[in-house]
Amino acid sequence: MKKQTPGLSDAYALSTPEDSRRLYADWATSYDQDFAVDQDYLLPGLTAKAFAAAGGTGPVLDAGAGTGLCGQALRALGVEPVDATDISAAMLAEALRKDAYRDVIEADLLEGIPVPRGSYRGVVSSGTFTHGHLGPEVLPALLRVAAPDAWFALSVNSKFYEKAGFAEAFDRLLQGHWIKSLTLPELRIYGPRATGAHKDDTAVIALFQKV
């Protein structure tokens, strides 16, 4: 019997790093067509545009890069160089095919990113902070690899933002003078061709600078 193609409900049900590796190993080769194209997935492009519009420049780290849709969008906007990091080697292999990245780094964000402190002038993340995925506990690891005044554009599923503690985490970072200039535009994740239970979902793009 043919194995069923993974989908969004499987991604939302993830609970461990090994679950993530297993799912995305199965999904990597079909993700762009079966999910991104078929569901009119706008978020990677919108995240890239928000980053560029805020004044973000390279070098940029694309955290939770997946198959490289956000990196591809950044390059189309003239933002380079971009490095990708993701827990899934299979997804990074697909990202490399797009020729949008200077380098790819296989890493679990919960364990940190193996690059020197202050390596990047910008950090983006699209679609990583959502149901069943990582939460604000990885923000210190992202801040560590960013240089002072680096711009961040991190998409967070709107239903997940308060529930997962992102609002509290950003408040603490603002009060501690770790970040500045926080804005939270809310955007649709999918376009008009999307179907299913999540077709009307939105995300906030947490735009801010590291102090």
pLDDT (tens digit per residue) in 162-204: 999 999 999 999 999 999 999 999 999 999 999 888 899 999 9
Average pLDDT, the chain: 88
pTM: 0.86
Give the residue carrying structure tokens 């699209």: 126
Distances (CA, A) of 73 to 40, 50, 182, 186, 196: 15, 11, 23, 19, 25
Q: Give me 70's structure tokens.
A: 């956000």
Render pLDDT for 120-154 as a digit per residue (tens, 0 to 9).
999 999 989 986 668 999 999 999 999 999 999 99
C-alpha 118/C-alpha 116 separation (Å) is 6
Local confidence band at 158 (pLDDT 50, 70, 90 cut-offs): very high
> Phi, psi at residue 42, to the nearest 5°?
-95, -20
**104, amino acid identity:** V
Q: Is the pLDDT of residue 15 over 80?
A: no
Q: Quote the pLDDT of residue 150.
A: 98
The pLDDT score that the predictor gives to residue 36 is 73
pLDDT-based confidence at 9, cuts 50/70/90? very low
Q: How far is CA 31 from the centre of its chain?
A: 15
Helix, strand, or coil (residue 75): helix
Q: Which long-range contacts (CB under 8 A, 24 or more apart) does 114-118 make?
A: 115/61, 115/83, 115/145, 116/145, 117/144, 117/145, 118/145, 118/146, 118/147, 118/148
In terms of DSSP bridges, do strands 179-183 and 202-210 run parallel, antiparallel, or are they unpaired? Answer: antiparallel
In sequence order, what DSSP letters do the residues of 157-183 get, joined into one string? EHHHHTTTTHHHHHHHHHHTTSEEEEE
pLDDT digits (tens, 9 = 90+) for 65-120: 999 999 999 999 999 999 999 998 988 998 999 999 999 999 999 999 999 999 99
pLDDT of amino acid 198:
86
User: 16 falls in which pLDDT band (50, 70, 90)?
Assistant: low
Is it the case that residue 62 has pLDDT exceeding 50? yes
Overall average pLDDT of the 16-20 stretch: 57
The arithmetic mean of pLDDT across residues 47-75, rounded, is 96
